[in-house]
Amino acid sequence: MHQLHNFLANLTLVLGVAAVTAFLFQRLRQPVVLGYILAGMIVGPYIPIPLAVDSDIVHTLSELGIIFLLFSLGLEFSIRKLMKVLPTAGLITLIQCAFMLWLGYITGRAFGWSNIESFYAGAMIAISSTTIVVKAFSELGIRDNVTETVFAILIVEDFIAILLLAGLPALTQSRDSSGLMFAKAVGTLVMFLVTVIAAGMILIPRILRIVMRMNRSEVTLVVIIGICFAISLLAKEMGYSVALGAFIAGSLMAESGDEGYLDTLIRPVRDLFAAVFFVSVGMLFDPSVFARHWLSLLIFIVLVVVGKFLGVTVGTFLVGYGTRHSIRTGLSLAQIGEFSFIIAGMGVATGATGTFLFPLAVAVSIITTFAAPWRIRGSDTIAKWVDKYMPHRLQTFTTLYSTWIQRLRQPQSPVARSRIKRLSFLLFIDTVLFTSIILGALLSLETLTSRLKTWIDLPEIPAQSIGILMTIVLATPFGVGIIRCIHALGFELTARVMPRQEKGKLDLAVAPRRVLTVTLQLGIVLLVGLPLLALTQPFVPSFYSALVFAIILMFLGVVFWRGTTQLYGHVRAGAEMVVEMLSTSMEKQREISVIPEDQFLPGLGSVFSIRLVPGSLAIGRTLADLNLRGITGASVIAITHGKQGVVVPTGKERLQEGDILAITGTEEALKLSKQLLLGRE
């Protein structure tokens, strides 16, 4: 009886304080998650307020919160959704997560943390908070194409977070073991995932369809919670996180096709226990961490905000979104949340990390989450400012690059698709084999050295040198294969946008083709190199691998910068031809609305002309005042007024009635430009 009274007293205190703080944060238009964390700090042991609760009871309830929270995320995740967003959001997320893993690792090592602690730190800051981002967009009333991109990235990030939750225990088990033990741990993990997912795909959707035919919501609720707990318990018994099991359970139930109904059914239970989970997070937060680890806290806050912004922005731009869209997406995802707590908590619970990591994760999350609404609101202004002060050659490149990628996304011939798929597959195989050889050799170097000493009676250093030489000999062909595939894939993708001219004919697309090729190669290097750096850094000397990667990026960067200079000259030449064509058409009183690319220099895309009619909003204003490129992503390459023309405007030219503007950009950018230029006062 006393235990029941103690349980009810603690639960009443937790939910009562959480209700008050959640109400206050809702009125202040802040994420209620922060209110729950504040409630945990109030009832926790580190703040001298006489409202302390039994941490064991709250911890047990918080485990249920983790299960329901991850189960709900699993319901929103499905293989269908993943496959749909993978070609774009998958590439963005891979670049961003790998970049953050690497940044977190090298920062941890700089602070003197162990390899495994540093890797956990990288994993902790790699994943944004789905809960916080969705809530922030909902409260701000934002729903546009940027929102769609952000949510697509979050779907893939959730998937990567689950892979980290599954893989980190294997890494922890192998830190003092041989390469054979590491391979065994990975093999066990793969077998567990394959078995559970295969069996679940066969059984769970069928069970749910049978239960839902009864049309009894309470029975359905009991069944789905029972299945969720069963798979979570199985994961726990196998030595993995209950969060992994809960997410798998949710994603398997999503395959039934009724995930919307199931999510509605589970939502009240999830919200209740999720609140307790975030309260428990606040209880474990020690405010003195600000004093003891102020430097690491400050640096990790900067890493999350700046690193995530750069990683997401660069990745989003590379897959074909404009500058404004990319910057807004990057700023929207520059925070961490629930997965960071789970990863850091798992590291502390397994003894892989020191106890300092969890309060560090909470502190970074609180500060970056508080700033999230302001970052999202101000992202449009920041994007316009960046575009305004960007060098002219980069402004020209960013506009044209979006049009090139838009053309690349168009349906290709079967032969072209086959060549691209073949090169991509070869690149994947070479990367996997190269990584496997390097990791296998490093993990087994000590065993290999001892056997060489026994077999051929050599001292340790020569035996170790032979082992390293054997590794280099085995890995070199695959390393060369990676370089050749990246080189060939860049040229093959570019050829889909700007086909090569036949031999003997003048090739007018040399400049745009060169800069597009090197940009695609740069993107592929990031896509392959960053995950390699991130995943091998606990085993490979990070300085040398990072140095090689930096040299490759610097070389491609120099080639890219020279290419943008040549592209700018190419655009000027094309703009002069456009001005001449528009002037001639005006003399003949025949207006041209679209100038196909094949009528002048290739690589500029189709150029649209817009005449400023009386009453247009743009009359009397400059392009800089309108911020046309910053708002729409389109670029004005020429302006004609009568027989006079301006080639590649600087933005300071004042627009007049009757001016004809030659604009290039994506279809969406051109549509927005027309609305902006021809809008009425």
What average pLDDT score do residues 572-582 get? Answer: 74
| Distance separating the N- and C-terminal Cα atoms of the chain | 74
* Nearest partner of 276 among 74, 22, 1, judged by Cα: 22
d(CA 194, CA 353): 29
pLDDT at residue 378 is higher than 70: yes
Question: Which position has the token pair 């975030």?
Answer: 278
Structure tokens of 28? 């202040």
Question: Which position has the token pair 């660069």?
Answer: 314
Range with lowest mean pLDDT among 59-63, 245-249, 306-310, 316-320: 59-63
pLDDT at residue 409 is higher than 70: yes
Report the b/e string of 587-620 with b at 16+ CB within 10 A: eeeeebeebebeebbbbbbbbbbbbbeeebbbbe
Question: Which position has the token pair 């998958």?
Answer: 90
Structure tokens of 217? 């919501």
pLDDT at residue 653 is higher than 80: no
Domains with residue ranges and CATH for the chain? 2-389 (1.20.1530.20), 396-569 (no CATH), 574-678 (3.30.70.1450)
Question: Which position has the token pair 């189709």?
Answer: 606
Q: Is residue 681 exposed (0-12), middle (13-18) or buried (19+ Cβ within 10 Å)?
A: exposed
User: How do beta strands 594-595 and 607-611 pair?
Assistant: antiparallel
Of residues 81 and 129, the one with the higher pLDDT is 129
Q: Report the range out of 191-205, 265-279, 295-309 with the highest average pLDDT.
A: 295-309
d(CA 136, CA 222): 31
d(CA 77, CA 83): 11
* Nearest partner of 356 among 111, 33, 164, judged by Cα: 111
User: How do beta strands 594-595 and 644-647 pair?
Assistant: unpaired
pLDDT tier for residue 454 given thresholds of 50, 70 and 90 = low
d(CA 473, CA 454): 22
Range with lowest mean pLDDT among 226-230, 525-529, 590-594: 590-594
Predicted TM-score (pTM) of the model is: 0.83
CA-CA-CA-CA torsion sign (129, 132, 136, 139): positive
* Nearest partner of 86 among 155, 178, 169, judged by Cα: 155
CA-CA-CA-CA torsion sign (114, 116, 117, 118): positive
- What per-residue confidence (pLDDT) applies to 519? 92
**How many CB atoms within 10 Å of residue 382?**
16
**How many CB atoms within 10 Å of residue 674?**
15
- What per-residue confidence (pLDDT) applies to 677? 77
Question: Could you tell me if 17 and 121 are in contact, meaning their C-beta atoms sit under 8 angstroms apart?
Answer: no
What are the angstrom distances between the C-alpha of 534 and each of 123, 429, 527, 597? 10, 18, 11, 42
* Nearest partner of 71 among 208, 241, 260, 251, judged by Cα: 251
**pLDDT tens-place string over residues 419-448:** 888 999 999 999 988 888 877 776 666 666
- What per-residue confidence (pLDDT) applies to 495? 87
pLDDT at residue 489 is higher than 60: yes
